[in-house]
Chains A and B, each alone.
Chain A
């Protein structure tokens, strides 16, 4: 059995115009020890998905349907105290601006010790201090500085302190929401490297949520590409990068510059994601897809399974023969741009 099984999950937000379908029928599994990346543009539902899993949706958000099975428990049906027990101990989250979520009036040590003692009553002070020292060393911070206050740390150090805190109880699942986006590239590289080695040590799995395709390419085993609340494509990282079937994956990949290549022809995916209050019928990407037909606009695509990939595109079975070369041309996307971009938004 997989460690985490999300099935047909629907997460909606209450809005004045009706419910916004932020996550709409998402299913996936995560094995113990696996790293799964979730990529997509802002508003595609990737952060909402993580918040639904750990149970910290904002007041307007609710789970409309579906289940989240974690090590045999359905998280959507747990009571608040049961859920609170799981948080930090089994599932921890490293948020994008985690470095700003430390309490300024307590030392870092006090904050980590508090988390340990809340979840493991009876842990002695000496033992807690040992955990703090160990975690500080793991994330590359000097343990002597554990008695500093957050303002005495730089941004990168605070983010590392948060990661130390997220790891202190050796959770079996980590949700990392843009864990390094706020950091400089050297710090990002160090932190990702450390998270990787810690994971190996405690054999935890990780869900990495990011817009940065290159971070996913380097840290994940599998990738989910999300678009407008739905999965567009899912599969092993090599296949997603080498032979994607969904035009959105192809576009996203080609929109991203690679430092190892000179003279890249970057492409831009014209238009904007659809409104989630009243999403269009058919494929959600149809409006921006240079290959869309009437069928795409009317009929919602079923999953197409090939080469270990799950792709939601009507023409996934034809992409190999005809569509991929066409989709790989930046000219293709430019023509769509001329037709749709620049127009006044409705």
Chain B
């Protein structure tokens, strides 16, 4: 696609949610009965988003892909880690800079039946972001955004309410609203999964045009790998709050290296009866994201488990000697000479924790 300039960098992002936030729980806590539990929804994710690219975040439900996406547009405040945009760390940015960032970071949600306010007309829905950010030429901008979203003629839609529109049209309104501020990037969370198959391609081609015509970057979040293959330049596969594999889309789909990615891609059905897909069954279920296991999070289900190193050392996402994509797995040799066995010498599983008190429970 276009140049490889980095637009946004995500640096070791973590988002943990406290469990049991009810008043009884807080009462118990004030009497000192134990530490609160946390769901480690996103637990140390780093990647960069380049200008004009479409980056796919994939994984099963609960892997943290949506939380990552929402943190990218500041709908969540990160627990730790940072987002670097325009050479600035967002954690250190001023209110004005944050407002500027919000203008450039937009999101499209999964369900167009819930993401639009039923009491607002299409015009007001699309114009609202302009009013918040004090941007002139409201009518012309709204019209242009609706036209780009192929809601033609735009004036016909101005006074309509969401209930008068079909699902596909609503999702187009949501796209128009995201585009009206002329953002730098858009996070699209399963933008077509609620739409009928026959209409999906229309909305997808809109997202494609956004990157091509405006040089926008898109973070496309989905569990549907067939769709991601169609849409994305690069993919990041997530498992239990961490990225396990990251690289060019074709490389990951055709030549996956992490055992989890391999199982995931292997499980995707193929719409062609002539293709005889070999089925390999993955054992077990996704683990506990409250009481995080030590070492590799996939070890209990992994068919390639190689012993203590998997139990004790968290595999870093890094470049390997043999292939293009980054993989977080001890099976492959690090390109930068990292040796996981060195970590096993002293205190086991202290590899990633580091900060002590707040860190993940290491032994269980």
Whether chain B is bound by chain A comes out as yes
> Does B268 lie at the interface of the complex (its beta carbon under 8 Å from any beta carbon of A)?
yes
B269 touches A189 (CB 8 A): yes
User: Which residues 9-56 of A have a CB within 8 angstroms of B?
Assistant: 41-42
Task: Write the B255-292 contact mask toward A (1 if CB under 8 angstroms, else 0).
Answer: 00000000111111111111101010110010000000
A258 touches B204 (CB 8 A): no
CA distance A225 to B169 in the complex (A): 25
B152 touches A343 (CB 8 A): yes
CA distance A208 to B148 in the complex (A): 39
Main secondary structure of the interface of A (DSSP, over half): loop
B273 contact from A238, A257, A267, A343, Cβ within 8 A: A238
Residues on A with beta carbons closer than 8 Å to the beta carbon of B156 = 344
Using CB atoms and an 8 Å cutoff, list the residues of chain A in contact with chain B.
41-42, 154, 156-157, 184-186, 188-190, 192-193, 211-215, 217-218, 237-238, 241-242, 251-253, 255-262, 264, 266-270, 272, 337, 341-345
Residue of B nearest to A220 (CB): B273
A268 touches B199 (CB 8 A): yes
CA distance A108 to B225 in the complex (A): 33
A184 touches B61 (CB 8 A): yes
> Does B21 lie at the interface of the complex (its beta carbon under 8 Å from any beta carbon of A)?
no
B263 touches A186 (CB 8 A): yes
B63 smallest CB distance to A (angstroms): 9
> Does B102 lie at the interface of the complex (its beta carbon under 8 Å from any beta carbon of A)?
no
B253 touches A259 (CB 8 A): yes
**Which stretch from B112-120, B211-219, B226-234, B302-310 is at the chain A interface?**
B226-234
A-B contact pairs, 25 of them (CB 8 A): A154-B285, A184-B223, A185-B267, A189-B279, A189-B281, A193-B281, A211-B196, A214-B269, A215-B269, A257-B227, A257-B230, A258-B226, A259-B229, A259-B270, A260-B270, A262-B250, A264-B230, A267-B201, A268-B199, A268-B200, A268-B201, A269-B198, A270-B202, A341-B202, A344-B157
A258 touches B264 (CB 8 A): no
B279 touches A193 (CB 8 A): yes
Residue of B nearest to A182 (CB): B61
Residues on B with beta carbons closer than 8 Å to the beta carbon of A268 = 198-202, 205
Residues on B with beta carbons closer than 8 Å to the beta carbon of A267 = 201
Residues on B with beta carbons closer than 8 Å to the beta carbon of A253 = 271
A189 touches B150 (CB 8 A): no
Given that A257-B227, A344-B157 are known contacts, is A269 also in contact with B271, CB under 8 Å in the complex?
A: no
Using CB atoms and an 8 Å cutoff, list the residues of chain B in contact with chain A.
60-61, 150-152, 156-157, 160, 164-166, 169, 196-202, 204-205, 223-227, 229-230, 250, 253, 263-275, 277, 279, 281-282, 285
CA distance A342 to B265 in the complex (A): 36
A218 touches B273 (CB 8 A): yes
A21 smallest CB distance to B (angstroms): 20
B229 touches A262 (CB 8 A): yes
Residues on A with beta carbons closer than 8 Å to the beta carbon of B269 = 188-189, 192, 212, 214-215, 217-218
B53 smallest CB distance to A (angstroms): 16
Residues on A with beta carbons closer than 8 Å to the beta carbon of B267 = 185-186, 188-190
B263 touches A251 (CB 8 A): no
A345 touches B197 (CB 8 A): no
A133 smallest CB distance to B (angstroms): 20
A259 touches B272 (CB 8 A): no
B281 touches A190 (CB 8 A): yes
B277 contact from A190, A218, A262, Cβ within 8 A: A218
A255 touches B200 (CB 8 A): yes
B272 contact from A184, A252, A260, A270, Cβ within 8 A: A260
A334 smallest CB distance to B (angstroms): 9
Residues on A with beta carbons closer than 8 Å to the beta carbon of B274 = 238, 241-242
Residue of B nearest to A330 (CB): B201
Residues on B with beta carbons closer than 8 Å to the beta carbon of A156 = 285
Given that A156-B285, A184-B60, A188-B267 are known contacts, is A255 also in contact with B201, CB under 8 Å in the complex?
A: yes
CA distance A261 to B196 in the complex (A): 21
B197 touches A217 (CB 8 A): no
A19 smallest CB distance to B (angstroms): 23
B282 touches A241 (CB 8 A): no
A257 touches B229 (CB 8 A): yes
Residues on A with beta carbons closer than 8 Å to the beta carbon of B250 = 262
Shortest Cβ-Cβ A-B pairs, 4 listed? A268-B201, A268-B202, A214-B271, A189-B267
Residue of A nearest to B254 (CB): A262
Given that A189-B267, A238-B273, A253-B271 are known contacts, is A42 also in contact with B230, CB under 8 Å in the complex?
A: no
A259 contact from B151, B152, B196, B265, Cβ within 8 A: B265
B197 touches A256 (CB 8 A): yes
A255 touches B198 (CB 8 A): yes
CA distance A188 to B263 in the complex (A): 12
Given that A186-B282, A188-B267 are known contacts, is A213 also in contact with B197, CB under 8 Å in the complex?
A: yes
Given that A217-B273, A264-B230 are known contacts, is A259 also in contact with B202, CB under 8 Å in the complex?
A: no
B225 touches A185 (CB 8 A): yes
Residues on B with beta carbons closer than 8 Å to the beta carbon of A270 = 202
